[in-house]
Amino acid sequence: MSRMSFSLLASDAGARRGRLDFPRGEIQTPAFMPVGTYGSVKAMTPRDLHASGAQIILGNTFHLFLRPGLEVIAAHGGLHRFTGWNGPILTDSGGFQVFSLAHRRKISEQGVTFASPVNGSKVFLGARSALAHQGNDAALFGIVQGGTYPALRSRSAAELMQIGFDGYAVGGLAVGEPEAERNAMLEHTCPQLPADKPRYLMGVGRPEDIVEAVARGIDMFDCVMPTRNARNGHFFTRFGTVRIRNARYEHDLAPIDPQCTCYACASGFSRSYLRHLDRCNEILGSILGTIHNLHYYQELMAQIRAAIEAGRFAAFREDFYQRRSGVV
Amino acid sequence: MSRMSFSLLASDAGARRGRLDFPRGEIQTPAFMPVGTYGSVKAMTPRDLHASGAQIILGNTFHLFLRPGLEVIAAHGGLHRFTGWNGPILTDSGGFQVFSLAHRRKISEQGVTFASPVNGSKVFLGARSALAHQGNDAALFGIVQGGTYPALRSRSAAELMQIGFDGYAVGGLAVGEPEAERNAMLEHTCPQLPADKPRYLMGVGRPEDIVEAVARGIDMFDCVMPTRNARNGHFFTRFGTVRIRNARYEHDLAPIDPQCTCYACASGFSRSYLRHLDRCNEILGSILGTIHNLHYYQELMAQIRAAIEAGRFAAFREDFYQRRSGVV
């Protein structure tokens, strides 16, 4: 029996406003989960993560299994004590690696055998999670697969619901398919999922993608975009994107977003300085950019939640697009 | 006329306890100055720098002259607004680059011409600093050169004192000479410098080097060691050095130094976790290690200051060596 519960607090057309309750805290949905593949959200301390508004983070079972290994994490009494993050953690099953490490794996009825990308040794991941999970009180999500084939999505959803999960993820999207196909798959799949369970769209995405998926009934998201893009000098703002390598910012004394309240913007670090840090490969550039981008994502989610609560999600969505198309 | 003043508060044998007053704040000496070559102390936010106890940081004129260039810094109204560090900043003249970039420079009576390491263009640095500095109210330090030749050191010191500076630096040491020769040069040079001006040993060094130089009358230090070593998994503690790549730390649940009060140690990040971060090249490893190492250096300086004030520097020095030789 899982110790997670989901409450649907409000809805506005297809968009849902909910709350997940865990022993380690509650999560207001729609929620964005920063990615900490190796047990660290890149360039962030747990303190800065909390300050950004993050409620839950992601870890990756497959990568943590290879490094540092389960034994080391167990010696710490679990991933929370290991990473210093005391809020809820969602761990990805390693299923994405069946796709991304296709050249290094062999699939059988029992599971997947990988050649470790660290040292080449054989690694086996079983595919019998619901069975293995019995007696564990952590929440378990079933992942709806089926690519862009409606019939396969329906079959996958139905079979997962027959097993019964605490939540349902939509996998196999955000892997290069056209946006229209992704949205069509969400419109096809979400109505088939139980309304009283959270829905998680894996690996999504751009701010625009998140807004569109919320409109179609998704509650949870994760993506490396805010953290990875920050390290490449790509900063999100409500007015559009600041690509800090652009020469136009060389003498720009404004912060990334003058209205933003994150540490990087509120302290007044200029676009000119951030451009300089990026050019010099200074770690501080990654730190400040990541703090800003994650703050942007968390603030976006807070605005989405407020809009659904107030029954004005459609107006929010229109306003969001109008602002984001601006030039910074 | 400089707006810096120096007060000698106490002395204990050769060791001096003083205070530097600047418009931007006071600096208790002996002081350690973290190095921010490109206008950023690597992996540190100004907020974390302040928390470490840093009172003043270093910038490098030569490197900042190349990137971002004086025009960009001037547009910000100076280095403080550019970097977000509001305490005093000491800028190195670029003199060290005459040495470290020997293959890229040509010396004349007027100054030094460099081929820029960024793009090969010609860069000229004049060598008439006292003259150029007239009318500027920032403090200016004269740098005593002379290698390990006592007669050259004496001549350099005498000629600088004739010009008259706000403080005196000892340069050209910590470049590979044996420790005994460096200490002999300090014993030869420091007594020749005016007692009422601060003395700065450039580029030093290990904790042991700092303690020895304080014993010989030095007031100020800078070194990349705490920051650079942190990024290579080399952590300083009062008990000795933790080389986090060592396999013995794989299952070690203790923080770097269980008695340390820095964010990394007080939050309980384990040596095992820090080793994992280092192995995975996670930026957080550099952040936490740098926070710890700079905190260690600043705490060392605070202990040195307290020991001189109490007239027990000799006892402190003995105790320091006894602890540092331990195995972690």
We report the CATH number of the domain holding residue A95 as 3.20.20.105
* Residue B303: predicted pLDDT: 98
* Residue B1: predicted pLDDT: 62
Same domain (yes/no): B39, B56: yes
**Through-space distance between the first and last CA atoms of chain B, rounded to whole angstroms:** 50
Q: Which of B169, B199, B223 is the last residue of a domain?
A: B223
Q: How many angstroms separate the CA of residue A203 from the nearest CA in chain B?
A: 21
Confidence of residue A114 (pLDDT cuts 50, 70, 90): confident
Same domain (yes/no): B47, B120: yes
Same domain (yes/no): B253, B172: no
- B124/B112 Cα distance (integer angstroms): 6
All residues of chain B having their beta carbon less than 8 Å from the beta carbon of residue A280 are 38, 40, 67
A276 touches chain B (CB under 8 A): yes
A270 touches chain B (CB under 8 A): yes
Q: What is the mean pLDDT of chain A?
A: 94
Radius of gyration (C-alpha) of chain A in whole angstroms: 20
Check CB contact under 8 Å for A270 and B39.
no
Name the residue among B225, B193, B194 with its Cα closest to residue B208. Answer: B225
B254 touches chain A (CB under 8 A): no
Phi, psi of B143 (to 5 degrees): -110, 115
Q: How many angstroms separate the CA of residue B226 from the nearest CA in chain A?
A: 15
Helix (H) or strand (E) holding A21: strand A15-22
Q: Out of A42, A76, A275, name the one closest to residue B283 (CB).
A: A42
Cβ atoms B142, B92 nearer than 8 A: no
Same domain (yes/no): B106, B133: yes
Phi, psi of B26 (to 5 degrees): -105, 155
A50 touches chain B (CB under 8 A): no
**Which residue in B35, B37, B40 has the most chain A C-beta atoms within 10 A of its own C-beta, making it the best mutation to test that interface?**
B40
Quick: pLDDT tens for A44-72.
999 999 999 999 999 998 999 999 999 99
Q: How many angstroms separate the CA of residue B291 from the nearest CA in chain A?
A: 11
All residues of chain B having their beta carbon less than 8 Å from the beta carbon of residue A72 are 250-251, 272, 276
Q: Where does A10-128 have alpha helices with state H?
A: 46-52, 61-66, 70-75, 79-83, 95-100
Query: Of these residues, B12, B92, B166, B257, which one is catalytic?
Result: B92
Query: Of these residues, A12, A209, A222, A278, which one is catalytic?
Result: A222
* Residue B55: predicted pLDDT: 98
3-state secondary structure of A149: coil
Same domain (yes/no): B326, B231: yes
A272 touches chain B (CB under 8 A): yes
Same domain (yes/no): B162, B241: no
Quick one: closest CA in A to B67, which residue? Answer: A276
**Percent above pLDDT 90 for chain A:** 83
Whole-Å CA distances, A26 to A7, A29, A49, B300, B301: 11, 10, 16, 43, 44
- A325/A81 Cα distance (integer angstroms): 42
- B319/B207 Cα distance (integer angstroms): 13
Same domain (yes/no): B249, B137: no
Q: Out of A251, A272, A282, name the one closest to residue B38 (CB).
A: A282
Q: Is A278 a catalytic residue?
A: no
* Residue B63: predicted pLDDT: 92
Q: Which of B195, B223, B251 is the last residue of a domain?
A: B223
Over residues A194-221, the mean pLDDT reads 98
Confidence of residue A21 (pLDDT cuts 50, 70, 90): very high
B76 touches chain A (CB under 8 A): yes
Q: How many domains does one find in chain A?
A: 2
Over residues A271-294, the mean pLDDT reads 98
Check CB contact under 8 Å for A273 and B75.
no
Q: Write b or e for each residue in A156-183: b if 16 or more Cβ atoms lie within 10 A of its Cβ, otherwise e.
A: bbeebbeeebbbbbbbbbbeeeeeeebb
Q: Out of A68, A81, A277, name the one closest to residue B40 (CB).
A: A277
Radius of gyration (C-alpha) of chain B in whole angstroms: 20
pTM value?
0.97
Q: Print the domain residue range for B270.
A: 224-328
Phi, psi of A113 (to 5 degrees): -105, 125
Name the residue among B130, B128, B64 with its Cα closest to residue B97. Answer: B64
Q: Is B137 a catalytic residue?
A: no
* Residue A94: predicted pLDDT: 76
pLDDT per residue as tens, chain B (328 positions): 688 999 999 999 999 999 999 999 999 999 999 999 999 999 999 999 999 999 999 999 899 999 999 999 999 999 999 999 999 999 987 778 888 888 888 888 888 888 888 888 888 888 877 777 888 888 999 999 999 999 999 999 999 999 999 999 999 999 999 999 999 999 999 999 999 999 999 999 999 999 999 999 999 999 999 999 999 999 999 999 999 999 999 999 999 999 999 999 999 999 999 999 999 999 999 999 999 999 999 999 999 999 999 999 999 999 999 999 875 5
Q: How many angstroms separate the CA of residue B45 from the nearest CA in chain A?
A: 7
Give the other-Cβ count within 10 Å of B87's Cβ: 17
Same domain (yes/no): B245, B191: no
Same domain (yes/no): B43, B131: yes
SS (H, E, C) chain B: CCCCEEEEEEEECCEEEEEEEECCEEEEECEEEEECCCCCCCCCCHHHHHHHCCCCEEEEHHHHHHCCCHHHHHHCCCHHHHHCCCCCEEEECCHHHHHHCHHHEEECCCEEEEECCCCCCEEEEECCHHHHCCCCCCCCEEEECCCCCHHHHHHHHHHHHHHCCCEEEECCCCCCCCHHHHHHHHHHHHHHCCCCCCEEECCCCCHHHHHHHHHCCCCEEEECHHHHHHHCCEEEECCEEEECCCHHHCCCCCCCCCCCCCHHHHCCCCHHHHHHHHHCCCHHHHHHHHHHHHHHHHHHHHHHHHHHHCCCHHHHHHHHHHHHCCCC
Quick: pLDDT tens for B170-219.
999 999 999 999 999 999 999 999 999 999 999 999 999 999 999 999 99
Give me the residue label for tokens 């953690």.
Answer: A89
For residue A213, pLDDT beyond 90: yes
Q: Which of A196, A223, A250 is the last residue of a domain?
A: A223
- A317/B96 Cα distance (integer angstroms): 57
For residue A129, pLDDT beyond 80: no
- A240/A289 Cα distance (integer angstroms): 15
Q: Which two tokens stand for residue A3?
A: 């110790």
For residue A131, pLDDT beyond 90: no
CA angle A254, A222, A123 (to 5 degrees): 130
Q: Where does A136-196 have alpha helices with state H?
A: 150-163, 179-189
Cβ atoms B146, B153 nearer than 8 A: yes
Same domain (yes/no): A210, A288: no
Same domain (yes/no): B238, B258: yes
Same domain (yes/no): B70, B136: yes
Check CB contact under 8 Å for A263 and B47.
yes
For residue A7, pLDDT beyond 70: yes
Over residues A107-123, the mean pLDDT reads 87
- B258/B229 Cα distance (integer angstroms): 20
Confidence of residue A103 (pLDDT cuts 50, 70, 90): confident
Helix (H) or strand (E) holding A107: strand A105-107
Quick: pLDDT tens for A166-205.
999 999 999 999 999 999 999 999 999 999 999 999 999 9
* Dihedral-angle region of residue B216 (phi above 0 means left; psi in -120 to 50 means alpha; beta otherwise): alpha
Q: Which two tokens stand for residue A223?
A: 């993506």
